[in-house]
């Protein structure tokens, strides 16, 4: 039989895992007292982004965010706009060490 020496291969149907990244974001402007943190959490939850958001004593908002490239790009784009009454003057972001957050949390600050 001609086919006797042909090996069979199993093709894996597993989907490739998405590359997860971590970015640290600082949002400057009128970003406190305008529901920025609550809105950030809602957007993060919709996009499947994990991490946290918190107010800083200097008036900035700090965000640690983890997700796939596309989700993080959309999330970062939203950070430049913020909620309705926010006035975003500057958004700084840089990649950081992956922390593997389980969810997205709104951190209460003691200002």
Is the pLDDT confidence value at 90 over 80? yes
State how far the Cα of 34 lies from the Cα of 107, in Å rounded to an integer: 16
Is the pLDDT confidence value at 85 over 70? yes
- 55, 58, 100, 103: the active-site residue: 55
**Per-residue confidence (pLDDT) for residue 10, from 0 to 100:** 52
Report pLDDT digits (tens) over 13-54: 555 557 999 999 999 999 999 999 999 999 999 999 999 999
- 5, 37, 89, 103: the active-site residue: 37
Predicted confidence band at 103 (pLDDT cuts at 50, 70, 90)?
very high
In the three-class reduction of DSSP (H, G, I as helix; E, B as strand; rest coil), residue 65 is classed as strand
State how far the Cα of 7 lies from the Cα of 54, in Å rounded to an integer: 57
- Higher per-residue confidence, 11 vs 89: 89
Examine the residue annotation and report whether 102 is marked as an active-site residue of this protein: no
Distance separating the N- and C-terminal Cα atoms of the chain? 81
From residue 107, give the alpha-carbon distance in Å to each of 63, 70, 72, 78, 86: 10, 25, 20, 19, 19
- As given in the structure block, the two tokens for residue 57 are 């004593």
């Amino acid at each position: 039989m001609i086919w006797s020496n042909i090996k069979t291969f199993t093709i894996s149907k597993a989907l490739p895992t998405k590359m997860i990244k971590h970015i640290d974001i600082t949002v400057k402007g009128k970003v406190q007292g305008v529901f920025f943190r609550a809105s950030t959490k809602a957007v993060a939850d919709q996009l499947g982004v994990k991490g946290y958001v918190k107010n800083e004593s200097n008036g900035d908002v700090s965000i640690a965010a983890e997700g796939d490239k596309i989700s993080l790009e959309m999330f970062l784009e939203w950070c430049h706009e913020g909620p309705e009454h926010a006035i975003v003057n500057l958004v700084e972001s840089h990649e950081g060490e992956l922390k593997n957050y389980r969810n997205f949390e709104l951190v209460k600050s003691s200002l």
